[in-house]
Amino acid sequence: MERIVIVTGANSGIGLALCDRLLTVDSHLRLCLACRNMQRAHAARSTLLTSHPDARVDVVHLDVGSVQSVLTAAQEVQSRYSRIDFLYLNAGIMPNPQVDIKALFKGLFSRNVINMFATAEGLLTQQDRLNSDGLQEVFATNLFGHFLLIKELEPLLCQPSHTSRIVWTSSSNARRSAFSMEDIQHTHGTEPYSSSKYASDLLSLALNRHKNSQGLFSSVVCPGLVMTNLTYGILPSFFWTLIMPIMFLIRIFTNTFTLTPHNGAEALHWLFLQKSESLDPRAKYHSLTSGLGTNYTQPRQMDVDDGMSEVLYEKLLELEKGVRRKLTERNADKETHGQ
Ligand SMILES: NC(=O)C1=CN([C@@H]2O[C@H](COP(=O)(O)OP(=O)(O)OC[C@H]3O[C@@H](n4cnc5c(N)ncnc54)[C@H](OP(=O)(O)O)[C@@H]3O)[C@@H](O)[C@H]2O)C=CC1
Ligand SMILES: CC(C)=CCC[C@@H](C)[C@H]1CC[C@H]2C3=C(CC[C@]12C)[C@@]1(C)CCC(=O)[C@@H](C)[C@@H]1CC3
């Protein structure tokens, strides 16, 4: 049977590499690229069709950072497909990143050096802002938009006698201490990326608890450090190229420096080949690349618990209600003012 796979943020980096890898293992796939920029989406589609001329690749407009866009995209998806086999929640942002150079040098001479390179703990901060829905942009893009998408697509994801899978592109940068249940959007801190990724780890656990009985299974992945537009926003590409020999050296000690989008997509691709019964809801599946360049996937236990994941789930449901109410009011307002 033809499998239907949707990938958000599929036009570049890890998302695009994943699409290429999926089409290589299953040429009968029906792939849907869910992207915010249609020009880039069509360019990605053309690239994929060049290497896989017989593939079925669709494109749908989706800005996960906009509530209206998520609702419209979900309607479009429901009109096109009768079920979803895999939903890869991969779109993500890290706006205005700042590297703490002092902490980097201090870390280099500490016993924590390997962990520092693997997780960037204490090295990175970002500057977030409010989006047009009144939500923190990083939270809205990396987490909430995807949450809303799942809710909207439930009729396709939770079907009797059919198993559907969700895969979150999380990060080893996800940290409990960057996340606060009193401030789930991370309005007050300087690590919205870490917070949003930790929230996705919690949410995945909650989704498994609530939805496994309806045939929906959620997993979490860390692709490792990959050279993509996201990392080129941290340091310019020429700098990364300059330090490439050092990065290959570091890879020997951590294996988390996967570096290429193809390598980074390893665990996402691996999960596609696994049966839902074999998945561990508390594991984060890491893409790893050895010093000799061999790719493999390794599950590692996440720092999450059921209590916290349930509280977050309830908070997201509350927020969803509020956001929908606001949107209805805004649309009604537009109609009365003839816009
Ligand atoms: N690179 C790395 O080292 C790591 C990356 N990750 C995660 O991997 C995922 C993919 O990132 P990566 O491939 O590295 O970076 P890219 O910037 O190459 O890819 C991010 C993708 O997300 C899309 N996107 C961003 N915002 C939105 C939005 N509002 N709506 C729809 N699509 C959006 C981008 O679209 P557009 O082209 O229009 O901007 C792009 O296609 C992210 O979730 C990131 O956090 C995790 C760990 C490490
Ligand atoms: C490698 C050298 C010599 C210098 C680069 C230092 C940092 C810029 C770099 C070290 C660890 C990196 C890292 C990330 C970004 C760049 C670093 C901080 C991430 C946070 C990128 C996005 C993710 O989701 C994480 C998995 C990465 C963890 C490691």
Best mutation site among 138, 142, 225, 242 for ligand 2 pocket (most ligand atoms within 8 Å of CB) = 225
Residues lower than pLDDT 50 in the chain: none
> Is residue 173 in contact with ligand 2, taking CB distance under 6 Å?
yes
Rounded to the nearest angstrom, the distance between the alpha carbon of 118 and the centre of ligand 2 is 7
Rounded to the nearest angstrom, the distance between the alpha carbon of 59 and the centre of ligand 1 is 17
Instruction: Tell me how far apart the alpha carbons of residues 252 and 337 are, in angstroms, rounded to a whole number.
Output: 62
Closest CA to 90 of 236, 230, 273, 297: 230
Q: Which atom of ligand 1 is nearest the CA belonging to 193?
A: 45
* Fold of domain 4-336: Rossmann fold (3.40.50)
- pTM value is 0.97
Instruction: Tell me how far apart the alpha carbons of residues 103 and 27 are, in angstroms, rounded to a whole number.
Output: 47
pLDDT tens digits, one per residue of 24-48: 999 899 999 999 999 999 999 999 9
What's at 231, amino acid-wise? T
Rounded to the nearest angstrom, the distance between the alpha carbon of 306 and the centre of ligand 2 is 29
DSSP string, 187-211: SSSS-HHHHHHHHHHHHHHHHHHHH
> Is residue 289 in contact with ligand 2, taking CB distance under 6 Å?
no
Q: Which atom of ligand 2 is nearest the CA belonging to 246?
A: 3
Q: Does the annotation count 296 as an active-site position? A: no
Q: How far apart are the first and last CA of the chain?
A: 45
pLDDT at residue 339 in the model: 56
Q: Which ligand ends up closest to the CA of 248?
A: 2
Rounded to the nearest angstrom, the distance between the alpha carbon of 235 and the centre of ligand 2 is 10
Contact 158, 164 (CB under 8 A): yes
Contact 172, 119 (CB under 8 A): yes
Classify the C-alpha dihedral 119-121-123-129 as positive or negative. Answer: positive
> Is residue 123 in contact with ligand 2, taking CB distance under 6 Å?
yes
Helix and strand numbers (H, E) in the chain are 15, 10
> Is residue 104 in contact with ligand 2, taking CB distance under 6 Å?
yes
Helix (H) or strand (E) holding 216: strand 216-222
Q: Any residues with Cβ below 6 Å from ligand 1, and which?
A: 8-9, 11-15, 35-37, 40, 62-65, 90-93, 141, 169, 171, 222-223, 225-226, 228-231
DSSP H helical ranges for the chain: 13-25, 38-51, 67-80, 101-108, 113-119, 137-139, 145-152, 154-157, 192-211, 229-232, 237-242, 244-254, 261-264, 266-272, 306-336
> Is residue 246 in contact with ligand 2, taking CB distance under 6 Å?
yes
Best mutation site among 12, 38, 287 for ligand 1 pocket (most ligand atoms within 8 Å of CB) = 12
Active-site residue identified among 81, 88, 193, 198: 193
Residue nearest to atom 10 of ligand 2 (CA): 117
pLDDT at residue 183 in the model: 98
pLDDT at residue 337 in the model: 78
β-pair type (283-289, 124-125): unpaired
Q: Which atom of ligand 2 is nearest the CA belonging to 235?
A: 8
What's at 10, amino acid-wise? A
Interhelix angle 13-25/38-51, rounded to 10 degrees, is: 30
Identify the three-state secondary structure at position 112.
Answer: coil
pLDDT tens digits, one per residue of 306-321: 999 999 999 999 999 9
Rounded to the nearest angstrom, the distance between the alpha carbon of 315 and the centre of ligand 1 is 25
Tally of residues, the chain: 339
Instruction: Tell me how far apart the alpha carbons of residues 169 and 163 are, in angstroms, rounded to a whole number.
Output: 20
pLDDT tens digits, one per residue of 76-101: 999 999 999 999 999 999 999 999 99
Rounded to the nearest angstrom, the distance between the alpha carbon of 78 and the centre of ligand 1 is 24
Contact 285, 297 (CB under 8 A): yes
Contact 114, 38 (CB under 8 A): no
